[in-house]
Amino acid sequence: MTRRNAFYAQAGGVTAVINASACGVIETAKRHRDRIGRVYAGRNGIIGALREELIDTYRESPSTIAALRHTPAAAFGSCRYVLKDIDENPAQYHRLIEVFKAHNIGYFFYNGGNGSANTSLRISQISEKMGYPIQAIHIPKTIDNDLILTDNSPGFGSVAKYVAVSIEEASRDLAAMCETSTKVFILEVMGRNAGWIAAAGGLAARQQGDPPQIILFPEIPFDRDHFIDHVRRNVLKHGFCSIVAAEGIHYRNGTPLTSSLQTDDLSHRQLGGVAPTLASMIKHSLEYRYHWAVADYLQRSARHIASATDVEQSYAVGAAAVEYAIDGENAVMVTIERGKGKRYSWTLGKAPLGKVTNVEKPLPRHFISGDGYGITDSAREYLLPLIQGEDYPPYNNGIPVYARLKLQQVPKKIVAGFET
């Protein structure tokens, strides 16, 4: 077999552990030097390929690459950029193949969510169509946990742990203050369409009546009167009410509780501000003192409180992608498969990309309690293994030591640029 180079890129919203997958890809590729020449990382995802901005990851020291395992966010830059359909914009695909040819790239590893699974599929299709062989392997990543055919999506477990730990701690603050001051605390977490992240807040409640007493899911239409009544009951019973709210909650008619006018290129409404909106409803109806927090980026970059299970799985899916490529696989996503036993176990598998894309995994209704404000034992059983274990980064002078990369670019070989 001839030796060919690999392209690796990171896509979409980042996570605390996506670099662990990068680490898995690079370290595993280096053990297959007979088959894989070098790993080039796209600067800012697929855009790096279009612009021929390729970072030579082999110019980084082995210790820097190893440090990726404990470094949050996307070390090579990410992008929110979706390729058009092949028929709609063939030039884009011709450009990609041109760049891949110029750099002898035969392996395409794309690390992302649904959108990038779709990109990976298209790359494998155009490769066949244009007669330039590329094996495209998708490496799953999304805090949204909405990829199907995999037990979970790497990145989710760490957000889940962050949210569970944070609401546990903040609820203790609230409980201590409630006698003379704050009676309601609201933590807003990510989750536009699915309540996976909000559900993780429920893990903090280990005994009956433990906070958070209310979780608001995008899956459950928001009913203001019912909500206010539930807050009141909890304050009367416990002295306080701790709430986790997904950013995407909305009324029965689909109107979001609040939304800014800002939209991004993917036509995602940029939400945020659900927590202060809920707080002002409570203030207006019940006159309770409140506090609210919006975790935003903190939740998905919090490598300092990452789940060890998540880190391990993230590394493993990266490593497996390389092994699958070496084995000749193409157009597949690496999957995590949960063992059948009582004790949590997992192995890796693969799923054809054609089956993965354009389908989102919803939070099952039986994971949400009857009243719509909590999680069930089934949810707990599914979620708990994903937040197991701590995997602390090294510290220096009180702050984590995260990787600083050289990000040295491979000299361009194509004269023409490309407008992205």
Catalytic residues: 144
Cα–Cα distance between 151 and 333 in angstroms, integer?
13
204 binds its own copies (CB under 8 A): yes
Give least dist CB 399 to its own copies, A. Answer: 6
Q: By CB under 8 A, name the one of 31, 129, 224, 283 that touches its own copies.
A: 283
384 binds its own copies (CB under 8 A): yes
381 binds its own copies (CB under 8 A): no
Q: By CB under 8 A, name the one of 358, 366, 390, 414 that touches its own copies.
A: 390
Cα–Cα distance between 232 and 217 in angstroms, integer?
19
Both tokens of 250, joined, read 């909305």
Interaction mask 344-363, its own copies, x per CB under 8 A: --------------------
Q: Which of residues 20-49 bind its own copies (CB under 8 A)?
A: 44, 47
Tell me whether strands 241-246 and 214-216 are parallel, antiparallel or unpaired. parallel
251 binds its own copies (CB under 8 A): no
User: In the block, which residue shows the tokens 């805090």?
Assistant: 143
**Burial of residue 301, with CB atoms counted within 10 A of its CB: 0-12 exposed, 13-18 middle, 19 or more buried:** middle
Determine how many CB atoms are found less than 10 A away from the CB of residue 97: 19
284 binds its own copies (CB under 8 A): no
Q: Which of residues 124-183 bind its own copies (CB under 8 A)?
A: 161, 164-166, 168-170, 172-177, 179-181
Q: By CB under 8 A, name the one of 70, 95, 103, 303 that touches its own copies.
A: 303
81 binds its own copies (CB under 8 A): yes
Q: By CB under 8 A, name the one of 104, 262, 358, 408 that touches its own copies.
A: 262
The residue (of 168 and 312) whose beta carbon lies closer to its own copies is: 168
Beta partners for 269? 263
Stretch that binds its own copies, among 191-199, 300-308, 332-340, 409-417 (CB under 8 A): 300-308
Stretch that binds its own copies, among 133-141, 144-152, 263-271, 352-360 (CB under 8 A): 263-271
301 binds its own copies (CB under 8 A): yes
Give least dist CB 40 to its own copies, A. Answer: 17
User: In the block, which residue shows the tokens 């597949």?
Assistant: 332
Length of the chain: 420
Give least dist CB 53 to its own copies, A. Answer: 10
**Burial of residue 377, with CB atoms counted within 10 A of its CB: 0-12 exposed, 13-18 middle, 19 or more buried:** exposed
What are the helix and strand counts (H, E) for the chain?
13, 13
285 binds its own copies (CB under 8 A): no
Both tokens of 224, joined, read 């203001």
Which sign, positive or negative, has the C-alpha torsion 29, 31, 36, 38?
positive
79 binds its own copies (CB under 8 A): yes
The residue (of 251 and 395) whose beta carbon lies closer to its own copies is: 395
Cα–Cα distance between 331 and 341 in angstroms, integer?
30
Determine how many CB atoms are found less than 10 A away from the CB of residue 132: 15
Give least dist CB 230 to its own copies, A. Answer: 21
**In 3-state terms, what secondary structure has residue 263?**
strand
70 binds its own copies (CB under 8 A): no
277 binds its own copies (CB under 8 A): no
Cβ–Cβ under 8 Å, residues 231 and 214: yes
74 binds its own copies (CB under 8 A): yes
The residue (of 266 and 359) whose beta carbon lies closer to its own copies is: 266
Give least dist CB 260 to its own copies, A. Answer: 8
Number of residues that bind its own copies (CB under 8 A): 77
The DSSP secondary structure of 340-405, one letter per residue, reads SSSS--EEEEEEEHHHHTT---PPPGGGB-TTSSSB-HHHHHHHGGGG-SB-PPPEETTEE-----
The residue (of 158 and 330) whose beta carbon lies closer to its own copies is: 158
Q: By CB under 8 A, name the one of 184, 235, 356, 387 that touches its own copies.
A: 387
